[in-house]
Amino acid sequence: MSMTLYTHTDMPGTFGNKGVRMPSGVYHPRSWFRTASQQQISGAGFVIYEPPEPEPVPEPTHNLTPLQPWQFWAMMRLTGQEQTVRDYIASLNDEESENYDPQSWAVASAIIDHSLEYRRDHPLVEDLRQLVGMTESQLDDLWNAGHNL
C-alpha cells in the first residue's frame, strides 16, 4: 500500500495515530487525507512531501571478500613477499629491532599463523601493504588475483 506523505507549509503539527493537529488547533483525521481533494489539502496548507534523493553509496574500490589461507599465502609466495612478511612479524618480538613490540607480535603472529581467512580491510593487511611498498590499487589487483586461483 503506497501512501502520499504531506507536510505543512508553516509549522509541523502534532501527528498522532489518528490524525494531525495543527498549531492553529485545526484537527485533520488521517482519513481526511484519503478523501480530501488535492485542492482541499493544499487549501489547508499542506503540500506533498518529497523526500530528498538518498546519497549514492560508493562502489568499493576493492573486493572485500576474504581470502582463504592458501590463497593469501600463495599470493605472498608468487609475489616474493612471504619472507618479508614473516621477517617483519618476527622483528616485532626481537628486542634488538626498532619494531620491537611484544604485544603487537603476539597479535600479528597469531593472525598470520592461525587465521581461517584474511580480510582485505584488516589493519594488519594495510600495515603489510605499506611494508612491502604496494599501492592500494596493486593490493586490490593482488587480492582479486588470489580469488581467481
Residue recorded with cell 580469488: 147
For 2-69, the DSSP string reads ----EEESSS--EE-SSEEE-TTS-EEEHHHHHHS-HHHHHHTTEEE--PPPPPPPPPPSS--PPBPH
How far apart, in whole angstroms, are the C-alpha atoms of residue 3 and residue 6?
A: 10
The predicted model scores a pTM of: 0.57
List, for residues 18-63, the tens digit of each pLDDT value. 555 555 666 667 677 777 777 877 777 776 666 678 888 777 655 5
How far apart, in whole angstroms, are the C-alpha atoms of residue 116 and residue 49?
A: 50
List, for residues 104-147, the tens digit of each pLDDT value. 999 999 999 999 999 998 999 999 999 999 999 899 889 999 99
Angle at which helices 123-131 and 82-91 cross, to 10°? 110
Cβ 122 vs Cβ 115: under 8 Å = no
Domain residue spans of the chain: 6-48, 69-147
